[in-house]
Structure 1
Amino acid sequence: MQFTAAAAIESAVTAVPAAAPEAAAAHFAARLAFEADVSDVHTDLTSGAPGVVVVDSRSRVSWDQGHIPGALHIPTVRIAELAPQLIGGPESRVTVVTYCWGPGCNGATKAALAFARLGYPVKEMIGGFEYWAREGFEVESAGGTSRTAPDPLTAPISGVSCAC
């Protein structure tokens, strides 16, 4: 029995055709309107870019274990109570960036929803605190500030932004 090149090979990727370019552009633009990655958040925090406030929505124990330097600690259940005094009202027009533990946790999504319902412009930091630490950015904890080497599976080992 001979097999020929004419044997049909099905593609798992194209089994469902890609969206039309116009639909794809709208989809990806919408995702970027809702999300920021850790590298972009780091760039804004270290450059002092105005108009961005980073909020850690985790518990006090988690915050003390480690958090992003310069972030505010507002647990999700206290956003309505604390946001106006710590950030200002929605009229302040700052963009709030929420984060939680990482991709396996939807705490940042819940926090972003709470901010949006209060009228704040908001984005979720994808990757969360896990990817912040894995990319080798500074981490503050009750014990001080530390930094680990970048994980080569998540960031260039040079520590320089991937610029993607």
Structure 2
Amino acid sequence: MTSASAVLSVPAADPATAAAHYAARLSFEADVSDVHSDLASGVTGVVVVDSRSDAAWAQGHIPGAIHIPTARIAELAPTLIDPATTVVTYCWGPGCNGATRAALAFARLGYPVKEMIGGFEYWVREGFAFESSRGEEQRPIDDLTAPRSGIACAC
């Protein structure tokens, strides 16, 4: 007896529709590994914005990020960020939609914007250094999120 497929109970999209969907997703999102790579190599035209509270920023943030709490984006962004620069927003992690709210605020101001999926949580879990009120910190790589070797997964 063959059981019905849970995966195939809704057929996969045709390849052209699937390609459009995944291209669209990538135009809205960047992962922490790609953001880290761009920051480490000094790519221009990208700015990373932490949209969390002052207390969260002090607890830990991405080196080189700009701190603009979401509620202050409309007020501060025009004075801090060139409107031609692509903004990458982040918040706590996958369970938080703060980066999405911040990305929406930047988009409404006319900025090209992407959301960093995984947020600060995955930045830390992938073993990348971060700054806090105590100085620079780094935690061991969580091998459920990145290779133990620290070498990028090249996905």
- The answer to whether structure 1 residue 61 and structure 2 residue 52 are counterparts is no
Superposed, which structure 2 residues align to 1:56-95 within 5 Å?
56-88=50-82, 90=83, 93-95=84-86
1:99 aligns with 2:90: yes
Supply the AA of the counterpart residue of 2:50.
Answer: D
Matched ranges for 1:14-163 at <5 A: 14-88=8-82, 90=83, 93-163=84-154
Cα RMSD after superposing both structures: 0.6
CA separation in 1, counterparts of 2:79 and 2:109? 13
Q: Give deviations 1:91-121, integer Å, cap 9, x for gaps.
A: xx11000000000000000000000000000
Output the CA distance in 1 between the equivalents of 2:151 and 2:44: 22
Task: Write out the 4+ residue segments of structure 1 that deviate beyond 3 Å after TM superposition.
Answer: none
1:74 counterpart letter in structure 2:
I
Which has more radius of gyration? Answer: 1
The one-letter amino acid paired with 1:26 is A
Q: Secondary structure at the match of 2:7?
A: coil
The aligned amino acid for 1:87 is I
Instruction: Return the offset for 1:84.
Output: 1.1
Distance in 2, matches of 1:162 and 1:83, equals: 34
Paired position in structure 2 for 1:8: 2
Q: Which amino acid aligns with 1:103?
A: P
Question: How many angstroms does 1:52 deviate by?
Answer: 0.4
Aligned length: 155
SS at 1:96 equivalent: strand
Aligned-pair identity in percent equals 74
Structure 1 unpaired stretches of 5+: 1-6
SS of the residue 1:53 aligns to: strand
- Measured after TM superposition, the shift of residue 10 of structure 1 is 0.7
1:8 to partner: Cα distance: 2.4
What is the TM-score when the length of structure 2 is the normalising length?
0.99
Structure-1-length-normalised TM-score: 0.93
Letter in 2 for 1:46: A
Displacement after TM superposition at 1:68 (Å): 0.2
